[in-house]
């Protein structure tokens, strides 16, 4: 691309989603003095996953000071791992502090986006049409609840609901509760409800390795210290301890033969062996795959809480749900009043169920028929002037999605600069660039711990992890500056 800077262009932007990433987009645009944008949000307030997940014990397993915008530290976190409601409150406050709220159209779900005559035409579910030059999908990852295909689920006469649709109208202290699923969500729910209900049954299809983590609460003095000295916050985010933790974890993820993974393996085994006393329960809770193969679950107290006399763990497999409870494959029956489905999310949805069509009407659903893909997880060939925050094949595994989104915004924003400066009228990666990226990514992904012999939501239909398989530093490097040799830049009509 040799074009010289041309006439600056005024652009209009449409951002979809007002979760962590959509709010970030709004803040960044306002910082640039850009006000011709709208953020469409299907919910009635901001926060995305933190708005939707209100179950007992909901918390982020990334340290709170890392799970904050790099430009808006929060000295007031109550704990090293922040509870969900505090995170929701943080995003509400950031939305107002940076003046983003007035740009959000709440309760407005987008049905279609199509690239026509050099602009994005966006249609809401109720048929309103809007147009913009740039489209940003900040639609989140884990928000379409996965309802398990368990026979008889609809026969249950008690209350049954997905963990992301928590019923707050129930007095749980009188209920016999079953929790299906033991990802991060199920583990948090069981730890929080243990001892709070007369009977709690945790149905596990496959056991999880549990990484112990500190249950550190911040005191008023801690918060005062964070307030007075932001370097203390920076230290929690990226000081030696944080770097060591991240470094160990990264090395373990990208190479399943690494000494770091061996170390993690011994930590989780020790956690299990030293905390669980009953050999029968220990056997039930012992996975037959390696640590971190499934997303590592962090918990300060699950193993303690699961040993409460009112809690039982069932691994026999669910035969069917009946009117009054759950029948296991070994014939055992648990009478229950409440059945919580902590069964995860439809993880390959990303921007869907929206229909997005690019050049010549090409449908993103067709491009993604095999699995969702995007060049460096951000842009897609033939979908010009469009990028995603936290889109497919980005870094996963106990990192701060905020840091990831900030870097992706920085990358996308530099591409948008080409439009702003009048250097081109459209950008999109080349097909060859995406193909090469996918080929290398797939090869590297097969060597990650995620492919070391377990089923998880990281894997596609062919068992290949749909993740960023390289060091985080590589991600930081490629996000720092787009390689324009891998982009097709459409010249301005007059240029
Ligand atoms: P996850 O991590 O996807 O966990 C879902 C759990 O539900 C997991 O234990 C599954 O067992 C279980 N599951 C799913 N379908 C079924 C059926 N049909 N029968 C029995 N059990 C089932 O979701 P979470 O909400 O816990 O966490 C999602 C992410 O949110 C998490 O990684 C963080 O990023 C935050 P399986 O292991 O597949 O045998």
3-state percent breakdown (helix, strand, coil) of the chain, nearest 5: 35, 20, 45
Segment 404-415 mean pLDDT: 98
- Tell me: cis bond preceding 353? Omega within 30 of 0 counts: yes
Q: How confident is the model at residue 247 (pLDDT cuts 50, 70, 90)?
A: confident
Q: What angle do CA 278, 284, 287 make, to 5 degrees?
A: 125
Distance separating alpha carbons of residues 402 and 150, to the nearest angstrom: 35
- How many Å lie between the centroid of ligand 1 and the Cα of residue 182? 6
Strands of 176-180's sheet in order across: 159-162, 338-341, 176-180, 199-203, 311-314
Segment 177-192 mean pLDDT: 98
Give the pLDDT of residue 12: 98
| pTM (2 d.p.) | 0.95
pLDDT in tens, 220-246: 999 999 999 999 999 999 999 988 888
pLDDT in tens, 150-175: 999 999 999 999 999 999 999 999 99
Q: What residues line ligand 1, using a CB cutoff of 6 Å?
A: 142, 148-150, 180-186, 205-206, 295, 342-344, 455, 457
Q: Partners of 14 in the beta sheet?
A: 38, 135
* Cα distances (angstroms) measured from residue 69 to each of 37, 277, 405: 21, 42, 10
Least confident of 181-190, 309-318, 451-460: 451-460
Residue 348 reports pLDDT greater than 80: no
Segment 270-297 mean pLDDT: 95
Q: Say which residue the tokens 């840091």 belong to.
A: 403
Give the pLDDT of residue 350: 81
**H helix runs in 48-83, sequence order:** 49-52
**Both tokens of residue 69?**
């915008």
Least confident of 92-106, 337-351, 413-427: 337-351
Residue 5 reports pLDDT greater than 70: no
57 vs 447 pLDDT, higher one = 57
Residue 492 reports pLDDT greater than 90: no
Distance separating alpha carbons of residues 28 and 485, to the nearest angstrom: 26
Best mutation site among 53, 81, 178, 185 for ligand 1, i.e. most ligand atoms within 8 A of its Cβ? 185
Domain spans of the chain, in order of start: 13-144+346-490, 160-212+238-341
| Atom in ligand 1 nearest the alpha carbon of residue 297 | 32
Q: Partners of 167 in the beta sheet?
A: none
pLDDT in tens, 33-66: 999 999 999 999 999 999 999 999 999 999 999 9
Residue 322 reports pLDDT greater than 90: yes
List the residue whose alpha carbon is closest to atom 14 of ligand 1: 343
**Both tokens of residue 359?**
């050049």
Q: Regarding the domain delimited by 160-212+238-341, which CATH topology (the fold level of the hierarchy) does it fall under?
A: FAD/NAD(P)-binding domain (3.50.50)
List the residue whose alpha carbon is closest to atom 26 of ligand 1: 183
Give the pLDDT of residue 4: 53
pLDDT > 90: what percent of the chain?
Answer: 85
Distance separating alpha carbons of residues 205 and 146, to the nearest angstrom: 15
* Cα distances (angstroms) measured from residue 265 to each of 56, 256, 385, 447, 480: 29, 11, 44, 17, 34
Distance separating alpha carbons of residues 340 and 326, to the nearest angstrom: 12
Distance separating alpha carbons of residues 408 and 476, to the nearest angstrom: 9
Give the pLDDT of residue 7: 72
Asked whether the beta carbons of 479 and 391 are under 8 A apart, the reply is no
**H helix runs in 327-454, sequence order:** 364-367, 401-420, 431-445
Best mutation site among 49, 344, 394 for ligand 1, i.e. most ligand atoms within 8 A of its Cβ? 344
pLDDT in tens, 112-138: 999 999 999 999 999 999 999 999 999
The secondary structure of 97-109 as a DSSP string is: HTT-GGGEETT--
- 3 state DSSP class of 495: coil
Q: Does domain 13-144+346-490 have CATH number 3.90.550.10?
A: no
Distance separating alpha carbons of residues 50 and 433, to the nearest angstrom: 35
Q: What is the mean pLDDT of the chain?
A: 94
In SS3 terms, 310-334 reads as CEEEECCCEEEEECCEEEECCCCEE
Q: How confident is the model at residue 1 (pLDDT cuts 50, 70, 90)?
A: very low
Segment 399-415 mean pLDDT: 95
């Amino acid at each position: 691309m040799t074009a010289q800077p041309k006439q600056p262009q005024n652009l209009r932007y449409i951002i979809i989603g007002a979760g962590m990433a959509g709010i970030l987009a709004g803040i960044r645009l306002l910082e640039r003095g850009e006000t011709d944008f709208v953020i469409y949000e299907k919910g009635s307030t901001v926060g995305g996953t933190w708005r939707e997940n209100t179950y007992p014990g909901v918390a982020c397993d990334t340290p709170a000071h890392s799970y904050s915008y790099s430009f808006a530290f929060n000295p007031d976190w109550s704990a090293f791992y922040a509870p969900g409601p505090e995170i929701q409150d943080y995003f509400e406050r950031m939305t107002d502090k940076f003046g983003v709220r007035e740009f959000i159209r709440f309760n407005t779900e987008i049905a279609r986006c199509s690239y026509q005559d050099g602009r994005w035409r966006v249609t809401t579910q109720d048929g309103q049409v809007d147009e913009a030059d740039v489209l940003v999908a900040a639609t989140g990852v884990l928000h379409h609840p996965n309802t398990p295909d368990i026979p008889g689920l609809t026969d249950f006469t008690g209350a049954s609901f997905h963990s992301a649709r928590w019923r707050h109208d129930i007095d749980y202290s009188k209920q016999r509760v079953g929790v299906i699923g033991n990802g991060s969500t199920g583990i948090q729910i069981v730890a929080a409800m243990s001892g709070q209900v007369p009977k709690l049954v945790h149905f596990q299809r496959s056991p999880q390795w549990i990484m112990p983590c500190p249950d550190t609460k911040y005191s008023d003095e801690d918060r005062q210290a964070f307030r007075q000295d932001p370097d203390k916050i920076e230290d929690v985010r990226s000081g030696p301890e944080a770097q060591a933790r991240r470094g160990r974890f990264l090395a373990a993820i990208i190479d399943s033969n690494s000494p770091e993974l061996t170390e993690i393996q011994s930590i989780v085994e020790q956690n299990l062996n030293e905390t669980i006393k009953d050999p029968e329960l220990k056997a039930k809770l012992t996975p037959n795959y390696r640590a971190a193969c499934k997303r590592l679950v962090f918990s300060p107290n699950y193993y303690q809480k699961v040993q409460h006399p009112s809690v039982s763990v069932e691994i026999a497999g669910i035969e069917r749900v009946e009117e009054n409870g759950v029948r296991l494959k070994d014939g055992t029956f648990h009478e229950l009043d409440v059945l919580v489905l902590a069964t995860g999310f439809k993880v390959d949805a990303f921007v869907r169920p929206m229909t997005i069509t690019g050049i010549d009407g090409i449908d993103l659903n067709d491009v993604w028929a095999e699995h969702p893909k995007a060049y460096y997880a951000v842009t897609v060939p033939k979908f010009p002037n469009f990028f995603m925050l936290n889109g497919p094949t980005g870094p996963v595994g106990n990192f701060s999605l905020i840091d990831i989104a900030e870097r992706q915004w920085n990358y996308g924003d530099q591409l948008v600069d080409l439009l702003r400066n009048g250097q081109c009228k459209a950008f999109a990666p080349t097909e060859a660039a995406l193909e090469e990226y996918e080929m290398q990514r797939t090869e590297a992904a097969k060597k990650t711990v995620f492919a070391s012999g377990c089923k998880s939501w990281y894997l596609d239909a062919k068992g290949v992890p749909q993740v960023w398989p390289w060091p985080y530093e590589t991600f930081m490097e490629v996000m720092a500056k787009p390689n324009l040799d891998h982009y097709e830049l459409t010249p301005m009509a007059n240029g």
